[in-house]
């Protein structure tokens, strides 16, 4: 028997709801997060009214989980479920959540820009990485070459410091500090009828 056409939910497709959840994954937890996100997608797909899911990753540590339900009632049933609550407990141990929702028929969301961390946070991480490194380099250089002219010492210091920050220290510092750097990042709703919301318990 040929399957019939997909029918809209009980309240009509014009009331379909899309929720976008942005999570900042803790350093070293990427594989565990990927498995957790798979579990979330499978669990959500088993609930009434689930229309589909998409996952996006911007390469900077932000992971966007998109789920669409045919009605706000069905979405609320998923969000209040014991299954989701158990998944949240797992997810919150390895990532930090923010969420936005739209009830528009064709929702549009603007994902966070690439320059997510505010400048003062980037300054603090750079300074925290550069200060001890600079002191160490200057001390070693003074011990190894006490008669080196100041201009040459500055050139060596800046060269070694820049190389270490670029390829060794800064990438590791940024990775470890990523949950703090990206805290509060979330997709902003740019078109839709329902206001965006932030939720500390979003999936």
Does 42 map to a domain?
A: yes
For helices 150-164 and 119-144, angle between their N-to-C axes, nearest 10 degrees: 130
Enter the tokens of residue 118. Answer: 């505010």
Question: What's residue 2's pLDDT?
Answer: 34
Does residue 198 belong to any structural domain of this protein? no
Q: Is there a single domain that holds both residue 31 and residue 100?
A: yes
92 and 27 in one domain?
Answer: yes
Which position has the token pair 């994954």? 25
Q: Low-confidence residues of the chain, pLDDT below 50?
A: 1-13, 114-115, 186-203
0.75 surpassed by pTM: no
In a domain, 201, yes or no: no
Residues 123 and 72 in one domain: no
Q: How many domains are there within the chain?
A: 2
In this structure, the answer to whether residues 71 and 58 fall within a common structural domain is yes
């Amino acid at each position: 028997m040929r399957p019939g056409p997909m029918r809209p939910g009980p309240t009509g497709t014009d009331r379909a709801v899309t929720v976008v959840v942005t999570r900042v994954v803790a350093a070293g937890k990427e594989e565990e997060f990927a498995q957790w996100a798979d579990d979330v997608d499978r669990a959500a797909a088993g609930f009434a009214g689930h229309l589909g899911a998409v996952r996006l990753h911007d390469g900077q540590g932000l992971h966007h989980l998109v789920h669409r339900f045919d009605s706000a009632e069905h979405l609320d049933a998923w969000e209040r479920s014991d299954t989701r609550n158990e998944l949240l407990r797992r997810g919150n141990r390895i990532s930090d959540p923010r969420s936005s929702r739209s009830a528009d028929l064709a929702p549009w969301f603007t994902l966070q820009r690439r320059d997510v961390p505010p400048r003062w946070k980037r300054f603090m991480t750079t300074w925290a990485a550069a200060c001890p490194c600079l002191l160490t380099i200057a001390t070693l250089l003074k011990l190894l070459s006490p008669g080196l002219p100041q201009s040459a010492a500055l050139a060596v210091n800046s060269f070694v410091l820049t190389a270490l920050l670029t390829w060794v220290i800064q990438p590791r510092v940024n990775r470890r500090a990523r949950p703090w750097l990206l805290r509060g990042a979330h997709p902003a709703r740019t078109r839709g009828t329902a206001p965006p919301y932030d939720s500390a318990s979003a999936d």
